[in-house]
Amino acid sequence: MIKYLYNPPIFIKKIFHKWIWNTSNDKILLTFDDGPIPETTPLILSALDKLRIKAAFFCVGNNIDKNPELAKEILSCGHEIGNHTYNHKIITQLNRAAAVNEIKSFINLTECKLDYKPKYFRPPHGRFNFMTDKIVTGLKQSVVMWSLLAYDYKNDLNLVKFVVTKFLKKNSIIVLHDSMKSREIILDSINMIMEQAAENGFEIGEPAECLK
C-alpha cells in the first residue's frame, strides 16, 4: 500500500514494539536527520526559533566533529541531539563490531566535545535488523523511528505537500533533513507542516514530552 512509503507497516512496529514510532502525547514531533552543516542548520534553527518549536536533530558524528559550534547551538536553542551514527553507514551492511563502533563513537564524541550524552538513536536510511536492536539496547539508547517520512530530500515541494496533506496525524513523528539535498525546500516544508497541523487542530510537541 502507498502509505507504507511514508509510514512503516504495522507488523514491523509490532516486532520492534519497544522502539518509538509515534509520539506518546498525541502531539507532532519534528525531527531532522543528517546535520549539522553550515548550509542548512542555521536556517532550520532560525525557523524553529521564530515558530517557538523544539525538535530532535539526529546528527551524524563526523558532521558534529567538523561543526561543533553548530552542534552546540542546537543544544543551546533547547533542541535534542540524537545518535545517527558517526559516519552515516547502513548498519545492516556492517558486522557487529563495526556497527557497535559506529554508534559508540558518536556517543564518545558528543560526551567529549559537547558534554552531552544522547538518549536516542535512529539508524541511517531507516535500515535495521535484530542485531541493531540488541546493540542499541546494550548501549542504553532508545530507538526513535518515525510515522511520517516527508521525502524532503527529493527536493520536490509538491511531494512534501502530498505526503503531509494525506498522511499527517496528531501523533506523527516527522522526518525532515538537515542536508544540502533539502536546502532549497526545507523552510517551505516546515511552514507547510505548521499550516497543515493548524488546519487539522494538531499540536506541535517537544522531544522530552513526545518521546516518553
Q: 33, 34, 152, 178: which one is catalytic?
A: 33
Do 172 and 23 touch, CB atoms closer than 8 A?
Answer: yes
Q: 34, 79, 177, 178: which one is catalytic?
A: 177
Q: Alpha-carbon distance 148 to 6, whole Å?
A: 5
Q: Alpha-carbon distance 38 to 45, whole Å?
A: 11
3-class DSSP assignment, residue 91: helix
Q: For the beta carbon of residue 16, count every other beta carbon within 10 angstroms.
A: 17
Q: Alpha-carbon distance 43 to 63, whole Å?
A: 16
Q: Could you tell me how many residues make up the chain? A: 212
* Euclidean distance between the first and the last CA atom of the chain, given in angstroms as a whole number: 30
C-alpha cell at 100: 557497535
Active site residue 84: no
Active site residue 17: no
Active-site amino acid positions: 33, 177
